Amino acid sequence: MIDCIFCKIAAKEIPAKIVAETELSLAFWDIAPKQPIHILVIPKQHHENVAELAAEATDYLVDLVQLGSRIASDVSTGSFRLTFNTGVEAGQTVFHAHGHITSTTPKEQVA
């Protein structure tokens, strides 16, 4: 989709700090982290939000959640959030579906 920043990141046309990827999904660090761990997971195909992703492309949705869960267990203690802001009033600012993986407790901080 023209002028979608996450489509451009998915196409590697603009840089991002990539964490991991699959054929269908890409994970990268949020540019303005709101937690010690704040990673975004996106489908490599454009869908406006998670509801449309669920309606239009369940393979991408499942892959996104699986990749996000795998990353979360690698970088956090296993206690994390996976959230999808959906719509302007919910705080969505980028209209390409994305899950936020957030955690207060990076794995290396645990004794």
What does 96 interact with, of ligand AMP, Zn ion, none (CB < 5 to 8 A by kind)? Zn ion
Taking CB under 6 A as the rule, which mask of x and - marks residues 17-46 in contact with ligand AMP?
A: -------------xxx-------x------
What does 4 interact with, of Zn ion, ligand AMP, none (CB < 5 to 8 A by kind)? Zn ion
* Contact (CB, 8 A) for 103 and 30: no
96: exposed, middle or buried (Cβ count in 10 Å: 0-12, 13-18, 19+): buried
Q: Does 85 bind ligand AMP (CB under 6 A)?
A: yes
Ordered strands of the 37-43 beta sheet: 18-21, 25-29, 37-43, 99-103, 81-83
Q: Does 56 bind ligand AMP (CB under 6 A)?
A: no
* Contact (CB, 8 A) for 101 and 82: yes
Element (DSSP H or E) covering residue 84: none
Shortest distance, CB of residue 93 to ligand AMP, whole angstroms?
4
CA dist., res. 41 & res. 18, Å (int) = 10
**Cβ nearer to Zn ion, comparing 2 with 111:** 2
**Cβ nearer to ligand AMP, comparing 79 with 93:** 93
**Cβ nearer to Zn ion, comparing 8 with 38:** 8
